């Protein structure tokens, strides 16, 4: 009996160990999945364009930023206290005076990212409804502006909500969206005769500064999960490279800054992809604006249940949304905006400041070689950030001047003819830049 009891007890312990191991593996895979979901963003659509612009050797920049951002995410995890935030890291490193500037920097990046999402949404809506123009007297408003205004009215009620628990579930559709886009592109290339025959150049050094911001933007979302950090970044990097290969070899020189715009719209799956890309930002507005709005609303003199508080909150959030959509209409250059966002603010938040905080907090405890690594990251991040910001501004000015002179060609414009109409509000004449789309559909 004792032997049988011991045997049963041993089997029970083995089953408990097996259950615990399965639970640990499940938790690890779940955390890895969430981490990859956080890293992948709207930059997923721009990797084919970045590959075509920079060439195969330009992928070394993607690898470099993958390694750098993986390390800076790790050091952020070390600096982060159990109940703290990035703002508390800044306060720990440089005192209470650093909290406000860092908060403003993060808020600026959030708004800039939402502008990028809004530009993407306008481009894909205009692709779905290319004839949605509005004529008021002698003024013709293009589809991008008209559809963005409609989208503004649709999205606006979601940012008024203060309970965002239900909206967070929408973020789970991100991975599904990317999977559908990838499967659709594979099907279009292999099953519909588009093929993967376009060549990608080995290197285009003149474009490296422009694509550096795009590649760095791919890893701007840090997650402090050291146990799955390396695997998450490796997985995301492979996904980015695989998708870049698909888009680059399918469309070559005709690859647009958002490859979803390249997919022929006569495919039912293509329309689904465009709608998914359109819907993807809907949950982002509430989630990104909430921290900014809540911080300002905490300073209101009224109780949060009073009519004055509710009205002021709605007015504040409406003002933020109007500002974001107005910027997207005035600056409708997706790839330039993405490069500028990461060069100007993303490089600071994701690369420079994590190493700076780490050096400040652990300067007396880290070995010399690690200090040298962080100083090197500071140097690289500063140089790339400054050069990328300048290159983005120059590129933007060049695009503005191109629209001032209709005789100049702007082949490769991300928004094509509807991008020019968005600049009418600042007195810039649009041009009919449709030759790239025409060539794409001739190839199809």
Confidence of residue 379 (pLDDT cuts 50, 70, 90): very high
To 5 degrees, how large is the angle CA 346–CA 77–CA 105?
30
CA pair distance 137, 111, nearest whole angstrom: 34
Quick one: CA dihedral 230, 231, 234, 236, positive or negative?
Answer: negative
DSSP-derived secondary structure for 208-234? HHHHHHHHHHTT------HHHHHHHHH
- 95 DSSP assignment: -
Picking from 369, 356, 67, 90, the residue whose alpha carbon sits closest to that of residue 218 is 67
First to last CA, the chain: 77
Integer Cα distance of 433 and 420 in angstroms: 9
In this predicted structure, what is the pLDDT of residue 405? 54
pLDDT tens digit sequence for 289-328: 877 888 788 888 888 788 888 888 889 999 999 998 988 8
Q: Flag whether pLDDT at 440 surpasses 70.
A: no
Among 416, 420, 422, residue whose Cα is nearest residue 434: 416
Helix%, strand%, coil% for the chain, nearest 5: 75, 0, 20
Q: What percent of the chain has pLDDT over 70?
A: 75
- Give the architecture (CATH level 2) of 26-400: Orthogonal Bundle (1.10)
Handedness of CA 135, 140, 142, 147 (dihedral sign): negative
**Amino acid 63: pLDDT:** 92
Among 29-43, 230-244, 258-272, 318-332, the range scoring the smallest mean pLDDT is 29-43
pTM: 0.74
Of 321 and 272, which is predicted with more confidence?
A: 321
Instruction: Band the pLDDT of 195: cuts 50, 70, 90.
Output: confident
């Amino acid at each position: 009996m004792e032997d049988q009891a011991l045997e049963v007890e041993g089997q029970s312990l083995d089953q408990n160990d097996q259950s615990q191991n399965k639970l640990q593996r499940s938790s690890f895979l779940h955390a890895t999945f969430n981490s990859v979901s956080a890293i992948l963003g709207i930059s997923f659509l721009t990797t084919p364009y970045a590959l075509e612009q920079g060439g195969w050797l330009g992928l070394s920049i993607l690898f470099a930023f993958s390694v750098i951002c993986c390390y800076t995410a790790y050091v952020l995890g070390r600096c982060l206290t159990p109940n703290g935030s990035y703002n508390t890291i800044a306060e720990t490193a440089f005192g209470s005076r650093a909290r406000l500037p860092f908060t403003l920097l993060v808020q600026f990046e959030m708004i800039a990212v939402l502008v990028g999402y809004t530009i993407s949404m306008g481009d894909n809506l205009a692709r779905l409804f290319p004839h949605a123009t509005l004529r008021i007297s002698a003024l013709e408003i293009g589809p991008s502006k008209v559809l963005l205004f409609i989208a503004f009215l649709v999205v606006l009620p979601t940012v008024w909500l203060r309970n965002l628990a239900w909206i967070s579930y929408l973020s789970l559709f991100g991975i599904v969206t990317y999977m559908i886009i990838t499967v659709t592109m594979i099907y279009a290339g292999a099953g519909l005769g588009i093929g993967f025959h376009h060549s990608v150049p080995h290197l285009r050094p003149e474009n490296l500064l422009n694509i550096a911001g795009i590649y760095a933007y791919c890893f701007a979302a840090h997650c402090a999960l050291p146990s799955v950090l390396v695997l998450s970044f490796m997985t995301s990097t492979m996904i980015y490279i695989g998708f870049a290969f698909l888009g680059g070899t399918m469309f070559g020189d005709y690859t647009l800054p958002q490859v979803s715009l390249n997919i022929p719209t006569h495919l039912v799956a293509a329309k689904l992809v465009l709608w998914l890309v359109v819907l993807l930002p809907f949950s982002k507005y509430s989630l990104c604006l909430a921290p900014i709005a809540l911080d300002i609303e905490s300073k209101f003199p009224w109780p949060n249940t009073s009519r004055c508080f509710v009205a002021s909150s709605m007015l504040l959030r409406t003002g933020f949304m109007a500002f974001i959509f107005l910027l997207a209409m005035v600056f409708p250059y997706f790839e330039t905006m993405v490069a500028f966002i990461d060069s100007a603010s993303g490089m600071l938040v994701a690369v420079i400041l994590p190493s700076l905080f780490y050096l400040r907090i652990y300067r007396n405890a880290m070995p010399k070689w690690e200090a040298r690594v962080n100083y090197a990251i500071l140097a690289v991040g500063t140089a790339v950030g400054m050069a990328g910001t300048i290159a983005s501004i120059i590129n933007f000015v060049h695009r503005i001047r191109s629209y001032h002179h209709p005789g100049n060609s702007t082949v490769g414009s991300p928004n094509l003819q509807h991008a020019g109409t968005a600049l009418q509000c600042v007195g810039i004449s649009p041009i009919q830049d449709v030759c790239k789309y025409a060539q794409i559909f001739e190839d199809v």
